[in-house]
Chain A
């Protein structure tokens, strides 16, 4: 039954305020996202530079590889980081081409999956990045080496391999909706909802999770660890909201997706920005975006958009609060004890 496609009338969706792909493109993206600002989010190096200038937290940048002959000098640079690092393309999309190294084993590198690799393989990976294998349209790219995020242990019990990240949709500077994406065995450690990752809605006021969805079906426990995913508190939530609001100033994009990870030492860090955030966030929250976007529009009437990010984050937290949803665990959801975690399964691997 659950796998059968279920049809719904457009009128129902309209009543629920679900924003469709066409409406998103025509009414929000075309209106508030000017093309000339896209490079600010498409180029992660640029995003990082702008974020540092604005004083927003991002993973630390160790170095940049811009040309093939710089690859040879790479090893000297990387030796300085025994705890590992991340290599990623500046123009990659959706986590493509990201290599996570957790440390060294002699001359070999240990990957997040536990396998080791030769330095030469890492050289190959870099030259693939440089020749544009992961960038849109195959344009030449640069490789960034940055700090490996040690994500907060708050989510150990609801993660299966990979990094849970938090996607917030920021509309004209106001966070309007957020979800946490939890990788599963099904999604092969990727945080992509339609590959089977779990998405949970988040109450913007408390930063607690609402029940989630997997494959568009509501669930209340993580499918792999059987741990409840309702009512979990995300550490540093207020900071995260301010961070997301602040991304509006640096990107100048009115319809923006902000991806944040929680580092156990540094708190929320901006991973990347997205000029075309999808609509799965509505499914994760079980609510349409439309009414929230209209609420922001109404709030901005008569204001010239001079509210600072902190104030915007506070306003959004107040208006879009959904306390009741964070406690309403359904009766049939058995609260299971978390299964013992394999040490390796909590490793970061975003590929």
Chain B
């Protein structure tokens, strides 16, 4: 069991981390790339009417579950109205009520939609429908037309589209022409088609759609029909016979009932305006997560206050930096001051950018070292000496900032956020190494620390990784698993391959055979 303890732990941690990650990506559509943007549409329905006295009741049909679009956000704007949303058969109904409206009334319903491929519409097969009562001559024409169409189609879907095409291109005096004399009015044609389909016992329904085009203030709703092929509702364009909605068509309401009903009002009309918005996909996904009410979203980093969020954006990168240190020290064999000093140095590079950071760091550390060696002459004790070094470091920083400001290098001003204590400790450590092990060691370790810090910074400053860790903090479990895995690495370090490589000529012939 002891042998498998660690592997099991590693597999468990990775599985949990990657599992939550996959769920968020696949089910909640959280963006893996930073700054990925989702196309959203703002649809605004504007209702106007003139009250005719008495209490007014406005009913507007609004979408509930849409095929191929999701509602991110919606809002009702009105003054002095009570609002109710009722659930209809396939849609919802927004009901505004008021006691004494005066003058022209305007009400708004706004929805933010974004495309997704989920079909959330109700797809239950309603069963065959009863044939309508035709009067002659329509009855025989309908029967003949349906026979004819049936012979030229293979299933419900093709039947419907053949029928639509027959009516659209009806030769004069044909059976189809009897039904196609409505002057290609979409609503009437849809009604006729639904009745003809019902004669063939096929359920069909009328659908009101909006064609989304950016910046249009006045979009007319368009009618489509949907035919049920026993599995799902298949949309068919009533004039052209086109199957499936184009990408920019959104279903607004189902059935043939009017969109707007106003009691005690006249000149009622509803107008649609559409504007396209590009939203950060993260917000989109987050709001979508809220609307599908995922428990997971409650415990997300994205719900923290903004200031805290920014702190964690940085903090969540530290484990990554720490892992890099483990790798560089135990697998590559780079020598550094202390264990995690390079991570701290890397964090301070975030303020200054890399090149400026390295230059400033080198500058301050070398100046500080010089001061430290001068203080050596004064023979101070350790703690006062450290305090003196810190004071001198801060004065040096101030001097550099003022100087660079005069010279117009704004970069160096970011230095004020440099952790001074880290600098002072680095200087102290470096000087001790310098005295005890000579300048070559001190400089080697200094350069090693800087190189490791630069590598850690390169990873920690990567926007993509930052986004990943911030939006999917569960990936820290995977990082932890990788660190545990590295922790069991007992093989040679890369630097040792060189270190022991030079002694190969001094190697004695191996005597292992006698020792065993």
Q: Which of A16-24, A80-88, A101-109 contacts B (4 or more CB under 8 A)?
A: A16-24
Contact at A131–B382, with CB atoms within 8 Å?
A: yes
Partner of A216, one of B330, B383, B489, B503: B503
Contact at B493–A131, with CB atoms within 8 Å?
A: no
Contact at B497–A291, with CB atoms within 8 Å?
A: no
With A131-B381, A131-B382, A325-B508 known as contacts, the answer to whether A10 contacts B515 (CB < 8 A) is no
Contacts of A132 in B (CB 8 A): 382
Asked if A124 lies at the interface with its beta carbon under 8 angstroms from chain B, I say: yes
Give the distance in Å from the alpha carbon of A39 to the alpha carbon of B490 in the complex.
Answer: 26
Contacts of A17 in B (CB 8 A): 510, 512
Contacts of A218 in B (CB 8 A): 503, 505-506
Contact at B501–A7, with CB atoms within 8 Å?
A: yes
Contact at A21–B496, with CB atoms within 8 Å?
A: yes
Question: Which of A18, A22, A26: most chain B Cβ within 10 A?
Answer: A22
Contacts of B502 in A (CB 8 A): 5-6, 215-217
Contact at A23–B500, with CB atoms within 8 Å?
A: no
Contacts of A292 in B (CB 8 A): 515
B343 CB, min distance to chain A CBs, angstroms: 19
- A/B pair count, beta carbons within 8 Å: 119
Asked if A72 lies at the interface with its beta carbon under 8 angstroms from chain B, I say: no
A173 CB, min distance to chain B CBs, angstroms: 18
Asked if B5 lies at the interface with its beta carbon under 8 angstroms from chain A, I say: no
A74 CB, min distance to chain B CBs, angstroms: 16
Contacts of A13 in B (CB 8 A): 492, 496-497, 500
Please classify how large the interface on chain B is, using the bins under 10, 10 to 19, 20 to 34, 35 or more.
20 to 34
Contacts of B3 in A (CB 8 A): none
Contact at B511–A291, with CB atoms within 8 Å?
A: yes
Asked if A192 lies at the interface with its beta carbon under 8 angstroms from chain B, I say: yes
Contact at B511–A287, with CB atoms within 8 Å?
A: yes
Contacts of A294 in B (CB 8 A): 515-516
Contacts of A322 in B (CB 8 A): 508, 511
Complex interface bits, A66-101 against B, C-beta within 8 A gives 1, otherwise 0? 000000000000000000000000000010100000
Write the chain A residue with the least CB distance to B502.
Answer: A216
Contact at A9–B497, with CB atoms within 8 Å?
A: yes
Contact at B492–A20, with CB atoms within 8 Å?
A: yes
Give the distance in Å from the alpha carbon of A325 to the alpha carbon of B512 in the complex.
Answer: 16
With A7-B497, A16-B507 known as contacts, the answer to whether A124 contacts B379 (CB < 8 A) is yes
Contacts of A234 in B (CB 8 A): none
Give the distance in Å from the alpha carbon of A322 to the alpha carbon of B516 in the complex.
Answer: 16
With A5-B502, A294-B515 known as contacts, the answer to whether A22 contacts B490 (CB < 8 A) is yes
Asked if A286 lies at the interface with its beta carbon under 8 angstroms from chain B, I say: yes
Partner of B507, one of A22, A188, A192, A287: A287
Contacts of B438 in A (CB 8 A): 188, 195
Complex interface bits, B475-516 against A, C-beta within 8 A gives 1, otherwise 0? 000000000000011111100111111111111101110011
Within 8 A of A (CB), among B430-459: 436-438, 441
Give the distance in Å from the alpha carbon of A25 to the alpha carbon of B504 in the complex.
Answer: 23
Contacts of B506 in A (CB 8 A): 211, 213, 216-218, 283, 286
Contact at A5–B490, with CB atoms within 8 Å?
A: no
Contact at A23–B491, with CB atoms within 8 Å?
A: yes
With A21-B496, A26-B490, A292-B515 known as contacts, the answer to whether A286 contacts B510 (CB < 8 A) is no
Interchain Cβ contacts under 8 Å between A and B, 12 examples: A8-B497, A17-B510, A17-B512, A18-B496, A18-B500, A22-B489, A22-B493, A128-B379, A138-B383, A213-B503, A287-B511, A291-B515
Which residues of B does A touch, CB under 8 Å? 330, 333, 379, 381-383, 436-438, 441, 488-493, 496-508, 510-512, 515-516
